[in-house]
Structure 1
Amino acid sequence: MKHLFAALVALLGIAPALANEPPAGMSWRGDFIQGGMITGSVVPGTVLRLGDRPVPVGPNGEYVFGFGRDEAADMPLQVRQPDGQQVLVRLQIARRDYDIQRIDGLPPAQVTPPAAVLERIRRENEKIAEVRRQNSPRTDFLQGWIWPADGPVSGVYGSQRILNGEPRQPHFGVDIAAPAGSPVVASAAGIVVMAEKDLYYTGGTVILDHGMGITAAYSHLREVGVTVGQQVKQGEAIGTVGATGRATGPHLDWRVNWFDVRLDPLLLLPARKP
């Protein structure tokens, strides 16, 4: 990423702004940390690129982007203003330590899915990826977020298990333990873009589109209470807690994405009262 930054400076002849200092006409807020989300505004007509990725900008100048679990510490943000002036901002992304667990001696069937379901998993994953590629003009993500279920946090973003010596995919959401049948509500307003009752890994699954690449997935639901295309308000019931799919007990697995970039939902939520 440092080499890309240097190349852009040399090629475009643009001066880099100070690290994490927005240029004139731009504002932002959020967590410059792995898993963090940044929202803000620019002069309408501004063009943004984060590394090699375009960042959608709304008609009123609103934008959002985020950083992945293993994001590089130095991320270039290119800003081309409507008058043609260009600024390259070096974003400094704080690194995090994640919980890594090693478990050995498991039966192979608990580590690797049987061959008979691999095609099903591929189809379901592609369907989810297609939903997350959508770029709608909604700006529901700007309203803030609420807890989607009541219960203790039983799993956190970024944690990973190594099973029988094989690294598994990290956990990209927050798990909220709650009794089966407990209500699950929309953490922010949005439109339902997926409502499935039986996905292999995540069972009952709802995905809401909150606009400009931000989607949120609610998984392992016992009941799916919405349909694709339905508009939901923040706090509106969308299903109930369950243990469907590959789950060992009732809980809600809640995840937030910026396109294919996995964000940490806990960074978006208000602190709970003790």
Structure 2
Amino acid sequence: MRRLAAISLSVLAAACVPSSVETADSGRMQKKAEVVQPIATPAPAPAPTPTPDPTPTGPSTFVYDGKLTQGGWIRGQVPAGTVSARLGEQELILDESGRFFAAFDRDAGPTTALVARRADGRELRSPLTVSPREWDIERVNIARRTGGASEAFMRIRRPELARIVAARAEETGASGWSQDFIWPATGRISGRFGSQRIYRGEPGSYHSGIDIAPGAGVPFVSPADGVVVLAADDEFSLEGKLIIVDHGQGLNSAFLHASRIVVEEGQRVKQGQLLGNIGSSGRATGPHLHWSLKWRDARLDPLLFTGPMS
């Protein structure tokens, strides 16, 4: 019994030994400490060095040339750092170099301004003086016809006008606006831009283009590079066979009364490329080419783009 008690006491003593491991060192009992490895914390990534904004290049103010007169035009470059620009209240289209085209209506007022807006919101203004012109005015002592067009005619005319408006609104990215224009045909000038009749004090519509009358069947060409946005081989009631060419930046040419059209809509044309042949289609008293130019809603004088006919 004593032996069994001793064995039981030994087992009980063993069960009470701590779970940590003990070792002898210089006659003393010491506990071996557990070694805990520290967790490495990654260093934060260095903040990127900010790239300075590039210094804008270009002129410090507007640079331009052109014909600053009624029915004329202006072409130039905006100041460095410009984000948008306008002529008066009309927004300008800027190319990748900051170049622009703008123009002045036949009845434009005497003053306007080019305005550039920069990224910080500041505006730079360049005042412009638009010189007046003396138009060929004929005063007649008869009353102007009243009543307007009939509804039957307008049912035909409205879809034609819608096609013209849509064509002139197209932005094709053409670059003909930057060229020196050439005459689409040469010959006798039978009608000048801006001429007008006054009926007993009431003004009638003015002539919106220039008429060139070299004879029936004479070919005519594009005065500058562009894209054909309308080629109406089906005759319009007034214009007859009509071609409109977009020269970019809101500038376009219209050619009326053709006898034949040799281009189609969407076609890119180069300066001097054949467009068609002169005729008397539509409402015309004889064979001639009516050439008109528009920038947005402004009517322009083609003679100010080409200079005198040689």
Gaps of 5+ in 1: 1-22
Q: Whole-Å Cα distance in 1 between the matches of residues 272 and 239 of structure 2?
A: 22
Residue type matched to 2:243 in 1?
Answer: V
State the 1:130 CA deviation: 1.9
- The equivalent of 1:79 in structure 2 is 116
| Alignment map for 1:30-69 (pairs within 5 Å) | 30-42=66-78, 43=80, 45-69=82-106
Q: Which residue of 2 aligns with 1:267?
A: 304
Q: Percent of aligned pairs with the same residue?
A: 37
- Partner SS, residue 128 of structure 2: strand
- Contact 2:144/2:199 (<8 A) preserved: no
Select the structure of larger CA radius of gyration. 2
Aligned to 2:5: none
Displacement of 1:189 in angstroms is 1.1
Residues 1:34 and 1:79: Cα distance change in structure 2 (over 3 Å)? same
Residue matched to 1:17: none
- Secondary structure of 1:223's partner? strand
Distance 1:255 1:155 in 2: 11
- Number of the residue aligned with 1:93: 130
How many equivalent residue pairs? Answer: 250
In the alignment, is residue 254 of structure 1 matched against residue 291 of structure 2?
Answer: yes
Matching residue's letter, 2:303: L
Is 1:173–1:256's contact at 8 Å kept on the other side of the alignment? yes
Determine whether 1:178 maps to 2:214: yes
Give, in angstroms, the shift of residue 230 of structure 1. Answer: 0.9
Asked if the contact 1:129–1:260 (Cα under 8 Å) also holds between the matched residues in 2, the reply is no
- Which residue number in structure 1 is paired with residue 169 of structure 2? 133
Query: CA shift at 1:39, angstroms?
Result: 0.8
Cα distance per residue 1:165-197 (max 9 Å; x no partner): 753321111111121100010011111000013
Measured after TM superposition, the shift of residue 51 of structure 1 is 1.7
Instruction: Work out the CA distance in 2 between the residues paired with 1:145 and 1:50.
Output: 22
State the secondary structure of the residue aligned to 2:306.
Answer: coil
1:128-166 per-residue CA deviation (whole Å, 9 max, x = no partner) reads 122222333222111211110120111111111245875
One-letter amino acid of the counterpart of residue 100, structure 1: I
TM-score of the pair, normalised by structure 2: 0.74
Supply the AA of the counterpart residue of 1:168: G
| Residue 204 (structure 2) aligned to one of 165, 168, 176 | 168
Most deviating of 75-84 and 33-42: 75-84
Normalising to structure 1: TM-score of the pair?
A: 0.84
1:26 to 55, 58, 62: 62
Question: Compared with structure 1, are the counterparts of its residues 55 and 107 closer, same or farther at alpha carbon in structure 2 (3 Å cutoff)?
Answer: closer
- The residue aligned with 2:277 is 240
For residues 189 and 157 of structure 1, do their structure 2 counterparts lie closer, same or farther at Cα, with a shift above 3 Å needed?
Answer: same
Query: Is contact 1:187-1:235 (8 Å) kept?
Result: yes
Which is worse superposed, 160-169 or 29-38?
160-169
Q: CA RMSD in A?
A: 2.3
The code of the aligned residue for 2:301 comes to D
C-alpha contact (below 8 Å) 1:44/1:60 kept by paired residues = no
Q: How much has 1:30 moved relative to structure 2?
A: 0.2
Q: 1:162 to 1:112 in 2, by over 3 A?
A: farther
Q: 1:119 to 1:25 in 2, by over 3 A?
A: same
